[in-house]
Chains A and B, each alone.
Chain A
């Protein structure tokens, strides 16, 4: 029976390793304040921030800039998080399709030099899957 116990122990050890790596690699949903605090403490873990695009009083998007002629791999915009703090977000990728149409945006990255460097952007476009408007 000895061998089965050793195997069982190894399996349990690997399973514990899996659980530890899941919690270790899991990212966090934070706001800009927390992200900045983490960066200030030298913690460059990648975090998720949920927010909306910054609009001015006229309903126009503010601070959005994409100039492919200069650099197709650089896009910046302003995002207001759920706590109403607005920060500049840099995205070293082309501007995503239908970016303005997104109702909610999740940026995944970290704060650096008082700006948020996004590695990935997830957009929630309600029009894609939910049907709100009917053409008459």
Chain B
């Protein structure tokens, strides 16, 4: 037991909290106009910030040391880590728990703060005053301080501020019975990391997302500082590159999460309209809207007031998202929200404090924010940007309104009303139809807007610019319709309105792609640096088309055609999406065959998967012994009898997809059996240019120890005899005496008798089986090593040999044959979604660099706020 390290950690937390408060106060003093003392306050604040940042790194290092050294006396290490966890997943422990993910957020803030101090001159003090105040609130979430018996109106009770990652098991679970007998008990092994997080995307997705969260605070801090110091329009220039960076990083984080869900979870897609996903999608939309307003202001001096509101909203919505996912308010509504740590009150305070503060500041300075009096013309870009922003805001509002349903119930309860609203039963339809409508308008606007961007327009010029992309997109849409790409798969009815909307979406997206390509070609010759907007818009339109095809036209490949309608009175509800595959018995689909080949495991040092039937288990679940030579590209990598290192939690199920004409491939969907956290199913995906084939297991037979075996049949036979096992003829051919047996230590005089059995199936297939009887001569003992054939569900044991009569006693058990239930889905056009995503990232990134250069140029001229 090491109690010091946790005390250090806690000390760092407290230090970083007070240093953040001091820095915020110091910067506030330094922002005051009087020149006297400004410099020393500035110096003071920088020192406070340095202490804060170092303490934050100290907290991270301490927590990592606790996890890395398996110090299970600490609750955080015990509950999120385990002895067998590889180091690269240890960082994932940080974001499995709430405290760790707050820490990650705080860590990013510390780094961003250092950058802000470095790049700003005049802005440093006011921006950092706001920034460090936010940071102090965030650090308070992991403070873990209990104020004893605070006297309030409601009585006296202890108040807990924050939840520390450094609490001991003993403090967290004092009621464990073991503590009465062994007060200094420390667990041998940890609870382990959630298997879903043991994925490389989960190593990079949460940090990216939290960096996106952290970045939204920067434009907010500039905006607030600007309003406060009276630089009501100057804040746009320094804030814009940060807003763009926030949009890139947050967007990348969201899409990484989507890809992770697609690759790891088994709901069959990349987006589930889960509250946790929606909660970050909403601020991203508002962030994008705010960027357009800021650019609009920079170009023509309009929309400044709306820019202020949108920048503030994007930050507040991040706080709201945090409140939703961490306060436990979602309850049954989400599968992956954090459990309530008792921080809901504190989180609500955080949200309300900044809502009120920023609201008050905006109201106070509203009149001082410049405004353009004339209403923008229909042929001006400002007008269309305004429409686009309105659409983006409505789209955000729609998702927010439905995602907040659990909040309405809570508010109603607080008011003494009874409300039991549940989220929509078909979220995919509820959200998708609205969002699709908005997406159609956005696609059209993003196609048109780019033309307005570059020059003043009138009716004639507009048509001159637009007729080419309009005609091109209509022709392409007609072609797509002609080829039947927008028809439903045969046998299905499609709602004509839905199909109409799909056609509109395709046409609008194509229009956006064509017109933005035209702009791109025109601009790239002069200055490639300013093509970011066109690229990002092309990307968005590609994403829309990719989403439409991969989600709207995904096709179940694994249709169960056995024709069994189990319940005639429920014929509407019966579905045939999942297929049962017995091992090695092919199931015919329309144009392909699915064959389940058996269970596979991984082995360290071997590239492929190892047949589970070729290995023997050992005492250590992480080690197995090989029963056959293992080859890789014709070369023997491991020999018979070698010990392999494996991960016992993962089993892969080899499924071959055989086509009559070429195109045969194999997929290995996985089941992770985690003794504490249950079974986790992960799909395997075959990528083609135009589509993905996605398949996952829907159910597996019960595990080995839960199997139901038939009663034992005993056969006493001679060599050459034949017995019947179920439908199989079993020939007992002969026996051999061997001196080496993989996995068994044999002494000089010990040996093993191996029986060569051959099972013949009704279809003529033959299956050799080799049960062993080990004779330990010195101990005059013997032991049976039975052989199990999973495919047949047959186990044969050689029990006894009678040397005088040449009789062999076998016992035979049978059980359910090995099978899997699989669901396979084809997702056309999904690559467009990923390519589009990359283009959006590239486009936004280019725009960011351009705006950052503008900021630096003005700063270096000493005109930061002029």
Contacts and interface: CB of A to CB of B under 8 A. Distances in A.
Interface of A: 1, 3-4, 7, 11, 14-15, 18-19, 21-23, 25-30, 46-48, 50, 66, 68-74, 90, 92-95, 97-98, 101, 106, 108-109, 112-113, 117, 119-120, 122, 124-125, 127-131, 134-136
Given A27-B425, A94-B821, A128-B194, 17 more contacts: A4-B375, A7-B387, A11-B390, A18-B401, A19-B401, A26-B424, A27-B421, A48-B425, A73-B577, A93-B578, A94-B578, A97-B679, A106-B332, A119-B425, A127-B678, A131-B78, A131-B191
B189 interface: yes
Between A1, A73, A106, the greatest number of chain B beta carbons within 10 A of the residue's beta carbon is seen for A73
B426 A46 contact: yes
Contacts of A95: 699
A47 B421 CA distance: 10
B430 interface: yes
A124 to B, nearest CB: 7
Contact of A72 (B189, B426, B570, B821): B821
9 nearest A-B residue pairs (beta carbon): A46-B425, A94-B698, A98-B678, A27-B422, A94-B699, A29-B420, A25-B424, A48-B422, A97-B679
Interface stretch (B294-302, B447-455, B560-568): B560-568
A132 to B, nearest CB: 9
B74 to A, nearest CB: 13
Contacts of B575: 73, 92-93
Interface of B: 78-79, 169, 173, 176, 178, 185, 187-189, 191, 194, 332, 335, 338-339, 375, 378, 386-387, 390, 394, 397-398, 401-402, 405, 420-426, 430, 434, 560, 562, 564, 566-567, 569-570, 573-580, 676-681, 698-699, 819, 821
A39 B234 CA distance: 62
A73 B574 contact: yes
Nearest to B398: A18
Nearest to A104: B332
A113 to B, nearest CB: 6
Contacts of B424: 25-27
Contact of B560 (A4, A72, A125): A72
B444 to A, nearest CB: 16
Secondary structure of the A side of the interface? Answer: mixed
A9 to B, nearest CB: 12
Contact of A120 (B338, B425, B681): B425
Between B332, B339, B576, the greatest number of chain A beta carbons within 10 A of the residue's beta carbon is seen for B332
B789 to A, nearest CB: 19
B197 to A, nearest CB: 12
Nearest to B377: A3
Contact of B332 (A18, A50, A109): A50
21 contacts: A14-B394, A15-B394, A15-B397, A18-B398, A18-B434, A22-B402, A25-B426, A26-B423, A29-B421, A66-B699, A68-B821, A70-B566, A71-B560, A72-B821, A73-B578, A90-B570, A98-B679, A122-B332, A131-B79, A134-B178, A136-B185
A125 B332 CA distance: 11
B178 A136 contact: yes
Between A15, A28, A71, the greatest number of chain B beta carbons within 10 A of the residue's beta carbon is seen for A71
Contacts of B574: 73-74, 92
Contacts of A19: 401
Contacts of B79: 131
A19 B399 CA distance: 11
Contacts of B401: 18-19, 22
Given A4-B375, A73-B560, A74-B566, A21 B434 contact: yes
A132 B560 CA distance: 41
B325 to A, nearest CB: 13
B570 A3 contact: no
Contacts of A27: 421-425
Contact of A129 (B187, B339, B397, B566): B339
